[in-house]
């Protein structure tokens, strides 16, 4: 609750440089961010979207997200970022976004027929994003 209130506070949003530092000082390290993704993906989206928009370095948090591999919660966070971040954002050209999408495509190619349909559906939603740019 505290982190959500912090993310929505106009003063913090106005001074975006303080947002990332405040998040880190609250104890949300990249390692703990992975736990947040697993337990509450919606809050993880809000926090990561604000970190990406801020001058604070979000690379450690994006690396933590990419290192999680493909699972329902990490895909939910990435899908949320696709809609939360401005289309002109450098995020869509970043190595993290490209790496996640490449991993997603690779994983889709290895899907067996006996898997559930929810994860392939989320992967399709990710790849259907109108802002996706995959470099060769």
**Could you read off the pLDDT of 51-110 as tens digits, one per residue?**
887 767 788 888 899 888 788 898 899 889 888 888 777 877 788 888 888 887 777 777
**Could you read off the pLDDT of 110-120 as tens digits, one per residue?**
766 555 555 66
> What sign does the dihedral 49-95-123-128 (CA atoms) show?
positive
Tokens representing 100? 């996640």
pTM: 0.67
Burial class (CB in 10 A: 0-12, 13-18, 19+), 98: middle
Tokens representing 42? 């919606």
């Amino acid at each position: 609750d505290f982190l959500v209130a912090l993310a929505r506070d106009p003063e913090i949003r106005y001074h975006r440089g303080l947002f990332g530092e405040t998040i880190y000082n609250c104890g949300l390290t990249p390692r703990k961010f992975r736990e947040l993704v697993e337990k509450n993906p919606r809050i993880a989206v809000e926090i990561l979207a604000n970190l990406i928009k801020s001058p604070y370095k979000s690379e450690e948090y994006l690396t933590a997200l990419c290192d999680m591999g493909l699972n329902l919660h990490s895909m939910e966070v990435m899908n949320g970022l696709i809609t939360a971040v401005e289309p002109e954002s450098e995020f869509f050209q970043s190595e993290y976004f490209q790496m996640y999408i490449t991993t997603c495509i690779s994983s889709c190619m290895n899907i067996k027929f006996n898997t559930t349909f929810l994860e392939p559906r989320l992967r399709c939603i990710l790849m259907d994003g109108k802002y996706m740019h995959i470099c060769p």
